[in-house]
Amino acid sequence: MSALGTIITAVVTPFRDDFSVDEDAFVALLQHLADNGSDGFVVAGTTGEGSTLSVEEHLALVELAIREKPAGTSIIANAGGNDTRESIHLTERATELGADGTLNVVGYYNRPNRRGIVAHYRAVAAATDKPIVLYNIPSRSTLDLDNELLAELAQIEHVDAVKQANNANLALVDGLTLYAGNDDVLARTLDLGGAGGICVVSHLTGPLLREMVDATPERRAEIDARLQPLYRVLGVTTNPIPIKAALDLVGRPVGGLRLPMIEADDAERAQIRAVLADLGLLPA
């Protein structure tokens, strides 16, 4: 098993009514997730609305997660950005605070060329002695780290893993631990010999995902088929809108979302509620 974990939850950031970070709710959520199958957390990532947090809020949340992390779990700090200097700063500070690793997306919006991507990751990797998890998510970064490029990046010291969110690229790459970046390929990733997933659905079905890790291929496929409707409905609109709605519906409210993200509408909530009901996840 990877030192960073197997079922790693990309944890939401709870907000109060005034949209300040609800630290108490965040700590309670970490413990709840750890009690239900998660052995690692990505903090202030996409699902955690990291792009709407100030640098100070971002690092304060990472520090809180490290200080309060449940026993036996890891904290992976999102340290990505479209400015290499900011990524270096976040990586350095997360390392100083005691994060177990960092998650680093390529410089979105700037659309660097291949040489720029390599130079970016060399500069970021020089800022830490902890594992770096590459994040390949073309739908947000607009760039695809193909497997040949991933193999090149794997030669950089401290670049140890990849969160693969391009399902077409899902494959083992020499020198990198493979994590599913999309919940719907967790079973495939495990079948390939990958470490696990950096998941969203684990907020709701952690024990089932944990069971998948050690299950026979047949049982893993059975669980995966059962969860496919939930995977799909959590994509009914942009993440993390659906997972925050789902958490509210199952009785674990985590507040709203900071603009430009906005709460699920009635039709979206109805779709989410129907799937949760079918899976028996709604409170009695």
Catalytic residue, chosen from 163, 179, 231, 244, is 163
- The span from the first CA to the last CA of the chain, in angstroms, equals 36
Active-site annotation holds for 163: yes
Active-site annotation holds for 244: no
- Burial code (b: 16+ CB inside 10 Å, e: under 16) for 47-63 equals bbbbbbbeeeebbbbbb
Helical segments of the chain, H only = 23-35, 55-68, 84-97, 114-125, 138-141, 147-153, 186-192, 202-214, 217-233, 241-249, 266-278
Catalytic residue, chosen from 69, 121, 130, 135, is 135
Task: Provide the 8-state DSSP code for 21.
Answer: B
How is 157-177 classified by DSSP, letter by letter? TTEEEEEE--GGG-S-BTTBE
In DSSP terms, 110 is beta-bridged to none
Q: Which residues are annotated as catalytic? A: 135, 163
